[in-house]
Amino acid sequence: MKTDVGAGVQDLGSKAKGQGEQLAHAKTLGWLARAGLVARGVVYGVIGVLALKLALGDGGRATNQQGALKTIAGQSFGEALLVLVAIGLAGYALWRLTRAVVGHGAEQRDSGSDRVAALASGVAYGILCVTAVEILLGAGTGSGTPKQPTGGVLDWPAGTVLVAIAGAILIGVGAYQAYKGLARKFCEDTRTGEMSEGVRKGYTALGVFGHVARAVVFALIGYGLIKAAVDYNPKQAIGLDGALRELADASYGPVLLGAVAAGLAGFALYSIVDARYRKV
């Protein structure tokens, strides 16, 4: 009996692995991944443009990913565009989660750290997709910043330690983003050999600039979480929009905010180009 159960479990495991392999190599998943990269680019483009307008005193504002989705929804044909963005975000989340589980795609194998990063981004973009659907259904509420959950976590046993660890992790993510950009590690994930020289140079410049800009934002959010833990004050916790406002309020704020905003807009363009050449 035990042998039969063990054989059954092994058979289910083999079937699941086989289905995972088929999904990882499926052309449909590849197209969904590319649609997701475009959707990511659209979201970051909205954030970057609004922040750049704020830096220039042209009526923009600091916003986060959820705010960008609401901005899209408020435009002419915004609901139709948001539907497409939601589909893209769902595709991106599915692709990243598949890479986390299977460990490779049709064109590339992943290291252990790559799979962890894929899991984190898959969950994050899955949540963002749900947010887009809620906005379409008229149920989207709140700014989506870390303030609300942080206040509750601080009251947990060892809550301040957990919040501080989350902040340290985000600072680490920021450091990795800076390294990935400055060392041009992102080029390893792309078929740069298929690019013309001009496209390759532009793509590389946008990737470096965009990753460094994201590094600054991640570091600011992480610092805010650590400060919230040290001061036991959830109001110190900030999201992407709060990080951009921190830059705006700093010395030489418009210059700093303008540089980071331009970098986020550059990351948006990088993502869109990456949709064409990414190894999926």
Cβ atoms of residues 266 and 202 within 8 Å: no
- Predicted model pTM: 0.84
Burial of 48 (0-12, 13-18, 19+ CB in 10 A): buried
pLDDT value of position 243 = 92
**220 burial class (0-12, 13-18, 19+ CB within 10 angstroms)?**
buried
Per-residue model confidence (pLDDT) at position 144: 45
Amino acid 143: pLDDT: 45
Compute the distance between CA of residue 107 and CA of residue 113 in angstroms, rounded to an integer.
Answer: 18
For the chain of 280 residues, list the mean pLDDT of each consecutive stretch of 10. 53 54 75 96 96 90 92 92 97 94 79 90 95 86 52 74 91 95 95 95 97 95 90 82 90 91 96 94
> Residue 190 forms beta bridges with which residues?
278
Question: Quick check: 75 and 49 in contact, CB under 8 A?
Answer: no
